[in-house]
Structure 1
Amino acid sequence: MALENSHELENGDGTTRSDQNFLEKEAEEADDEANKGKEIESVEMIFRDTVVPSWKGQLTVRAFVVSAILGVVFSFIVMKLNLTTGIIPSLNVAAGLLGFFFVKTWTKVLEQCGLLKHPFTRQENTVIQTCVVATSGIAFSGGFGSYLFGMSDTIAAQSSDANSPTRDMNIKNPSLSWMIGFLFIVSFIGLCSVVPLRKIMIIDFKLTYPSGTATAHLINSFHTPQGAKLAKKQVTALGKFFSFSFLWSFFQWFFVSEDDCGFENFPTFGLKAYQNMFYFDFSTMYVGVGMICPHLINISLLLGTILSWGIMWPLIEKKEGDWYEAGLKSSNFHGIQGYRVFTAIALILGDGLYNFLKVLGNTSIALYKQLKNKESRTVLPVGPDGKATSEDLATSFDDKCRKQVFLKDRIPTWLAVGGYVAIAAIATTTLPQIFEQLEWYYVLVIYVFAPALAFCNAYGCGLTDWSLASTYGKLAIFVIGAWAGKSQGGVLAGLAACGVMMNIVSTASDLMQDFKTGYMTLASPRSMFVSQVIGTAMGCVIAPCVFWIFYQAFPDMGVQGSEYPAPYALVYRNLAILGVEGFGSLPKHCLSLCYGFFAAAILINVARDTAPKKWARFIPIPMAIAIPFYIQKPFAIDMCLGSLILFIWEKRNKKEAKAFGPAVASGLICGEGLWSVPKSILALVKVNPPICMKFLSKGMNVKVDDFISTLSR
């Protein structure tokens, strides 16, 4: 999922597991068309006449130029999603498609001019996709919408310790220099932690890594004749909807000269529904996100919106003066905001804890079975008659080719171990200089335990495609925060520790996904590792710069109710406060509600796992329900509209929807996401929209008309 996990509900706090089924089926359909009337042919037999370049030959200048351009574009998209809802879909499809399109166009022009020296290969395509995702991934794992921005004074002023005497020692405002330095220190060590285990994970244990496998199928299909034709059509569809989304966002900008103006505040279902977050805000980005996210996530978001803004908050607001002090600002945590945020935190923690224990248990059991039955796993499966089928022979040929390439370009173990120790030593020395509250021995303890947790996350991700990076980060918040204590800056220490832990376990699982993709496309492990390192390095510079543009262009960023409220930043800070202060400062009955929602999250997950499959697919996801509780944005309506469009499309033409749905969605997301660049530049140079389009009730409109008429006399 990209809510709280990567490829997650939150790529989340944040990425959805999206589209691997589409990719796999699309690849299968392409293979079926290519093999009509023929015996089953292996993937590598199709490419048997194609020369595989050396690992250095896969790392081309053009690949990294394209990766840098797409990395900037995708970083703006991820940053905008981070700072609005925290729901980040998988952008692998768009990265693979656009990477293929740009380089294929480049090489075609050079070929016609007689200047082409190196043809475009699937290995180079894999390098581009890996580099782009690594670059834009830092925009999420860097914590700009969660733990890192949660350190700022803007978020602290809205948190439950806003009036605490120790607040000042728990604040660190964003600065381009320390953010870049921090990311360079913490973002690479996770790459070293699992490199020695790549053969065990990919070849010995044969872990599937669904997203990595699906991406490999996509890239392999692109470079067959049938796949190349489909890719061009997909890119055309992406381009059309990209243009529409960008121009529509540009048009809307003219009508937003003040707060609460413009199409994004259109009271679609009436003014009363508008006040309770039920309206369509004409965001093409979230319509696209809804087309990529599974239907159940979108329905869960809508259910959460109805439960919170439609039922709970109106009822609790009637208790003002009884349950909490009257006259408090809506952002005050001793008032209604306390119920909004902490009930959401309870749902998130309940869901996260359940899935953490579930994945950890499944991982332990599967690991035990694989170690116990390792020898039997190496036996080639045979057909019912005791003979290998043609499909088995194709698989055997593919595996033989892939193992040969995968094991040829070894990454020395001493390099990985030495790199881990060296980076850990540097981090232990330098991180306390960036965060005075984070003692050196806190950092040392994190790095001692991190490799085991990185292995668990990478292994679990290989089984389920579910990364629990943010869950490990929350664990670090509570452990280090409680260890440091309130009077010693435990809130800031916990948030910094969260960043260290999240980056280690997140990059570890991402790298193993890339190794799986490289394994299936015959890309060298060395080229995968180098492209991941280069992409991460680019992300450590690009992501903070993109965040800084938003930070400077929108002074109210991080304020609840603003255009960019950064909702997870507030959640992470309050988690850190809970870790050092406890629950004493919550408003009346809030703790009881938290206990109830925590238990409800666990029970809902138990029901999802025990109910028959035909019913389980209708049971909502607690983490998705939680997000609308405290986000004052109507994105659930937008995403459900995207889901409805895809549903109708699938009913009318399922094959076409599977082939072009992700491309259309990616175009809608990229168009509005790219509009963030000129919009931010216009804000920086103080160019404001010229018109305010606002919607008033009939009675209010009469009063405004009367007031204007008195002025004109």
Structure 2
Amino acid sequence: MSQPVSPSPQQLQLKPEPDSVPPRGSTMAAKDPERHWLENVYKAGVRQLTVRAVIAGMLIGAVMCLSNLYVILKTGWSLGVTITACILAFATFGALRAVGLVRTEVSALENNAVGSVASGAGYMTGGGNMAAVPALLMLTGALPSTGWLVAWFSVVSALGVFAAIPIKRQLINIEQLPFPTGTATAETIQALYGADERSRGKARYLGVAGLIGAVIAFWRDAKASWLAWNLPAKVSLPFTIGGKPAGAWTLSFDLSLLLVGAGALVSFKTGWSMLLGAILTYGFLAPEMVSRGVIPEVTYKAINSWALWTGAAVLVSSGLLSFAFQWRSVAKSFKALSGLFGKKGEEEKDALADIECPPTWFPLGFLVLGPVAVFLMAYLFQIPWWAGVIAMPLSVVMGVIAARVTGETDTTPTKALGPVTQLLYGGLLPGNLAANVMSANATGGVGLHAADLLTNLKTGWLLGADPRKQFFAQLLGLVAGAAVVVPAFNLLVPTAEVLGTEEFPAPSALVWAGVSKMLVNGVGSLHTSARIGALCGLVLGVVLVLLERWAPKKAKPYIPSASGLGLAIVIPGASSISFFIGAAIAEVLRRKKAQLAEATVLPVSSGFIAGESLMGIAVAMLKAFGVMPK
């Protein structure tokens, strides 16, 4: 649920430069890809992790973190950070240089460092962070203080960065896994610093779209006295269901460019699957359950409390089965993991010993941060120390698996790995809701940040960057992200009542909280119809994955996406409609105007998302501080 939305496959082919790594499988690269990289690609002495790159990365990362926080509470997804950050850095430094505030242009490798810092900060919402913490708030009604949560996020994320060290060279240098988002980021940076004016125009598209998104959000949400009227948040579809307007069932046009932009970044298949899920849930199932008295009233919260179990079952079953089909990757991960501590024979001098992160940093990082993480688990979430100790090696395993799966598929399997940890701790600590949720947060956070660092290191490998500098860049970004995301979350979500509403559906949190409740209370605590719905959802998730895998090629475009369908069941129908509109516009552009789509879809969508989300947070702050009426 909280994976990044990645560019389309057409965007992922990095065009080789004269000094780039030979194609996978070529004779030279196969013999010694690391030595070839050192001699032909690595750019020694080029400025990379400069002070201005760190500052810019922290600021851009903080902005992207705020944006992702708003988006994940709305949709359950975290959106891509690094490509947008690199475009923003290029545009910002270009503007500063034009007015004389900066003397030299930011270099390609500086921009890559900006992306690493920004990514560490921007993905602070991922890895279960903004699923587990809202879920904990819904389950217990309270959270640790801001300082303690910042410490928790920082430690878990840093463990993920250290977990990436021992597997980096195998996955990136030797096997050269694609890590598609990392490859696409390298392509974007190369284009920005080339002579392609169209690529430079992406920065302008992003800026204009961001301004439009911000204006729409302010016009809709601000209650300023000088505004004659506000845009409505939603416009109901022009029909009734069960004697009530479609809008009462959440079937409306949502005047949100953020949701349309997010829809443009997912596949068209996901978009129409979400529309189908919304129609089935809010147009047929919910009215039927209301007529039978199972759902007490026609509100989103009442409908969601019943439909959640079906949607969660679709998401969890499809995620686990899809993950199971990647057993070869998992097996390779365990093989690599077993070799981390193995005794190695005499080898020739390591040519990259002074460039790569030393292998000793991995155990040292866990020796220092592991006890801190165990203490925080015990002190903040009442997880027994022995259970916290178990989470440490488990998080390494999850990190290795998540990194390989991300490298091969561009999808970090948080929605599969989270429930696995919840099931394990449901057996180890029955009845402990906090332990069930936050142990999954620990393993999910390590997995996400290990995969994220390796994605960024893939970009650096293609551009010739220094991996040690990217490692430190990532750590610096984590601190900035943790310091920003916790107070921003407290501002947007002052109480648990805000979650699970049309304003902030928080579907990821609902699923995590639902799984924990079911493990603690048992399936028998659910209404009979909800149990039937959960069983149907479980079967549906399995069937859709099997059809996607084994159906004839011609039939696959017509098989609904399990993740899209499951998500549509747990978010308002209006959100799914907006997603579909965005996905449809992007698909038409790709088919009719491929070049225009390549130049505009990613930057315009990112601009809409960033502009509206940041303005939404700004308006919330103005209301919280009494500057603007609520």
- Calculate the TM-score normalised by the size of structure 2: 0.87
Aligned residue among 65, 69, 93 for 2:59: 69
User: Which amino acid counterpart does residue 500 of structure 2 have in structure 1?
Assistant: Q
Aligned residue among 110, 130, 134 for 1:149: 134
CA deviations on 1:203-247 (whole Å, 9 max, x unpaired) are 222211111111111112222222xx2333111122222212211
Give the deviation of 1:282 after TM superposition: 1.3
Structure 1's unaligned 5+ residue stretches are 5-11, 32-41, 157-169, 372-403, 691-713
The reply on whether 1:348 has 2:339 as its aligned counterpart is: no
Give the deviation of 1:262 after TM superposition: 4.9
Give the deviation of 1:482 after TM superposition: 2.8
CA deviations on 1:260-281 (whole Å, 9 max, x unpaired) are x952221243453222222211
CA deviations on 1:508-528 (whole Å, 9 max, x unpaired) are 111111111110011100111
Compare 180-189 and 490-499 and name the one that shifted more.
180-189
Alpha-carbon distance change, 23 to 462 in structure 1, aligned in 2, over 3 angstroms: closer
The reply on whether 1:683 has 2:609 as its aligned counterpart is: no
1:52 is aligned to 43
Task: Provide the secondary structure at the position in 1 that maps to 2:377.
Answer: helix
Q: Aligned ranges for residues 13-162 of structure 1 at < 5 Å?
A: 14-19=3-8, 21-24=10-13, 52=43, 54=45, 57-107=47-97, 109-110=99-100, 116=103, 119-141=105-127, 143-144=129-130, 146-152=131-137, 155-156=138-139
Task: Provide the secondary structure at the position in 2 that maps to 1:425.
Answer: helix
Is the 1:556–1:562 contact (alpha carbons within 8 Å) kept by the matching residues of 2?
Answer: no
Alpha-carbon distance change, 238 to 23 in structure 1, aligned in 2, over 3 angstroms: farther
Task: Provide the secondary structure at the position in 2 that maps to 1:634.
Answer: helix
Is the 1:66–1:99 contact (alpha carbons within 8 Å) kept by the matching residues of 2?
Answer: yes
Give the deviation of 1:54 after TM superposition: 3.4
1:499 is aligned to 441
Give the deviation of 1:629 after TM superposition: 1.6
User: Which amino acid counterpart does residue 89 of structure 2 have in structure 1?
Assistant: G
Using the alignment, how far apart are the partners of 2:105 and 2:566 within structure 1?
Answer: 49
Is the 1:189–1:423 contact (alpha carbons within 8 Å) kept by the matching residues of 2?
Answer: yes
Alpha-carbon distance change, 365 to 530 in structure 1, aligned in 2, over 3 angstroms: closer
Using the alignment, how far apart are the partners of 2:224 and 2:135 within structure 1?
Answer: 28
Q: Which has the larger radius of gyration?
A: 1
CA deviations on 1:483-524 (whole Å, 9 max, x unpaired) are 2122xxx11111110111111111111111111111001110
2:256 is aligned to 283
2:219 is aligned to 251
1:360 is aligned to 327
Give the deviation of 1:406 after TM superposition: 6.2
1:264 is aligned to 233
Over the matched positions of the two proteins, sequence identity in percent amounts to 20
Is the 2:290–2:298 contact (alpha carbons within 8 Å) kept by the matching residues of 1?
Answer: no
Task: Provide the secondary structure at the position in 2 that maps to 1:141.
Answer: coil
Alpha-carbon distance change, 336 to 213 in structure 1, aligned in 2, over 3 angstroms: closer
User: Which amino acid counterpart does residue 418 of structure 2 have in structure 1?
Assistant: G
Give the deviation of 1:539 after TM superposition: 1.0
User: Which amino acid counterpart does residue 463 of structure 2 have in structure 1?
Assistant: T
Alpha-carbon distance change, 689 to 284 in structure 1, aligned in 2, over 3 angstroms: farther
Alpha-carbon distance change, 689 to 426 in structure 1, aligned in 2, over 3 angstroms: closer
1:447 is aligned to 392
Is the 2:333–2:404 contact (alpha carbons within 8 Å) kept by the matching residues of 1?
Answer: no
User: Which amino acid counterpart does residue 429 of structure 1 have in structure 2?
Assistant: F
Using the alignment, how far apart are the partners of 1:406 and 1:54 within structure 2?
Answer: 15
Is the 1:107–1:120 contact (alpha carbons within 8 Å) kept by the matching residues of 2?
Answer: no
Is the 1:85–1:631 contact (alpha carbons within 8 Å) kept by the matching residues of 2?
Answer: yes
Alpha-carbon distance change, 448 to 120 in structure 1, aligned in 2, over 3 angstroms: same
Q: Aligned ranges for residues 475-494 of structure 1 at < 5 Å?
A: 475-486=420-431, 490-494=432-436
Using the alignment, how far apart are the partners of 1:49 and 1:458 within structure 2?
Answer: 27
Using the alignment, how far apart are the partners of 2:297 and 2:238 within structure 1?
Answer: 29
Task: Provide the secondary structure at the position in 2 that maps to 1:288.
Answer: helix
Is the 1:363–1:456 contact (alpha carbons within 8 Å) kept by the matching residues of 2?
Answer: yes
Give the deviation of 1:104 after TM superposition: 3.2
Give the deviation of 1:633 after TM superposition: 5.1
Using the alignment, how far apart are the partners of 1:504 and 1:366 within structure 2?
Answer: 15
Task: Provide the secondary structure at the position in 1 that maps to 2:64.
Answer: helix
Aligned residue among 673, 676, 690 for 2:613: 673
Q: Aligned ranges for residues 297-696 of structure 1 at < 5 Å?
A: 297-320=270-293, 324=294, 337-364=304-331, 408-436=354-382, 438-486=383-431, 490-552=432-494, 558-632=498-572, 634-688=574-628
Is the 1:453–1:505 contact (alpha carbons within 8 Å) kept by the matching residues of 2?
Answer: yes
Task: Provide the secondary structure at the position in 2 that maps to 1:577.
Answer: helix
Is the 1:135–1:537 contact (alpha carbons within 8 Å) kept by the matching residues of 2?
Answer: yes
Is the 1:83–1:567 contact (alpha carbons within 8 Å) kept by the matching residues of 2?
Answer: yes
Give the deviation of 1:143 after TM superposition: 2.0
Is the 1:142–1:183 contact (alpha carbons within 8 Å) kept by the matching residues of 2?
Answer: no
1:238 is aligned to 206
- Calculate the TM-score normalised by the size of structure 1: 0.77
CA deviations on 1:411-441 (whole Å, 9 max, x unpaired) are 11112211112211222233211122x0111
Structure 2's unaligned 5+ residue stretches are 19-28, 30-35, 339-349
Aligned Cα root-mean-square deviation (Å) = 3.3
Task: State the aligned residue count.
Answer: 597
User: Which amino acid counterpart does residue 121 of structure 2 have in structure 1?
Assistant: T
Give the deviation of 1:175 after TM superposition: 2.6
User: Which amino acid counterpart does residue 220 of structure 2 have in structure 1?
Assistant: Q
Is the 1:213–1:517 contact (alpha carbons within 8 Å) kept by the matching residues of 2?
Answer: yes
Give the deviation of 1:408 after TM superposition: 4.7
Using the alignment, how far apart are the partners of 1:534 and 1:559 within structure 2?
Answer: 31
Is the 1:458–1:467 contact (alpha carbons within 8 Å) kept by the matching residues of 2?
Answer: yes
Compare 195-204 and 15-24 and name the one that shifted more.
15-24
CA deviations on 1:526-550 (whole Å, 9 max, x unpaired) are 1110111111111111111221222
Is the 2:248–2:298 contact (alpha carbons within 8 Å) kept by the matching residues of 1?
Answer: no
User: Which amino acid counterpart does residue 255 of structure 2 have in structure 1?
Assistant: F
